[in-house]
Amino acid sequence: MLAHSMADTESSPRTERIAARLRQVPLFAHLTDAELGRIAAVSRTRAFPKQSVILFESDPGDALYVVLGGEVKVVLTGEDGREVILSILKDGDFFGEMALIDDRPRSANVVATVDSMLLVLRREDFQACLEENPRIAFGLLRELSLRLRQADDKIGGLVLLDVNGRIARLLLTLADEHDGLSMPRTVTHHTIAQMIGSTRETVSRTLRDLQDRELIRVTRERIAVIDRAGLERLASTR
């Protein structure tokens, strides 16, 4: 049973609203209405303003978070304040599972990049939820495999590609997350630098170079992919 079971609690409009929202979260999408209702009843929603730190690296882990609205970045910060962005998570994504699974401290900081609304599920409720629903455990494993693949790709890119290749690869990924053809300029040069382990100046210079080679077009609002095959060649590690 969930630690704070809803079995004997009336469902409220709030619970129903959250359960409906949870149905759109891939990790929970296959649950029954009753199961979603139980999770909704024991979890809470919490707003985090832009730039607020949601989790601190090395803190003990006491909850799982689901992004209901907004965006967060998973970051490691060096002693000198430099940051590397490990991942950007959006609507429907979850985080904070690692410390709950392996009982070790948080592996990274998680920071809201825009005003965000999160669902917070306490450790014991998350664990009960996994025990009650093996399919959630399987969904979690799938997502962890995907994240490991992405991390492998990133390590491969850092070792095997130059900055051109790393930027080409990131641009293709970001374009694919939008319409496949372009991405909004909300992704700043500074953010791109933090995602590929480079500097803002190098990113600006490389983007100009890619534009001169007619691989991309940079406008005030968007970065458009002009020559996909050309970018793919640069981004290839084989």
User: Of 19-27, 42-50, 90-98, 159-167, which segment contacts ligand CMP by CB under 6 A?
Assistant: 90-98
Q: Does 61 bind ligand CMP (CB under 6 A)?
A: yes
Q: Which of 41, 110, 119, 175 binds ligand CMP (CB under 6 A)?
A: 110
User: Of 40-48, 93-101, 157-165, 177-185, which segment contacts ligand CMP by CB under 6 A?
Assistant: 93-101
Chain centre to alpha carbon of residue 176: 15
Query: What is residue 182's three-state secondary structure?
Result: strand
* Strand boundaries in the chain, DSSP class E: 44-48, 53-55, 63-69, 71-77, 83-90, 94-95, 109-112, 116-122, 182-184, 216-218, 222-225
d(CA 66, CA 22): 9
Q: Does 206 bind ligand CMP (CB under 6 A)?
A: no
Q: Does 98 bind ligand CMP (CB under 6 A)?
A: yes
Kindly state the smallest distance separating residue 192's Cβ from ligand CMP, in Å.
Answer: 17
Kindly state the smallest distance separating residue 106's Cβ from ligand CMP, in Å.
Answer: 4
- Give the C-alpha distances (Å, rounded to integers) separating 25 from 31, 71, 146, 200: 10, 14, 16, 34
Q: Does 95 bind ligand CMP (CB under 6 A)?
A: yes
Q: Which of 67, 108, 118, 172 binds ligand CMP (CB under 6 A)?
A: 108
d(CA 141, CA 18): 24
Measured from the CB atom, the residue of 20 and 141 that comes closer to ligand CMP is 141
- Is there a contact between 64 and 2 (Cβ–Cβ < 8 Å)? no
Residues that bind ligand CMP in the complex, under the rule CB under 6 A: 55, 61, 74, 86-87, 95-99, 106-108, 110, 147, 151
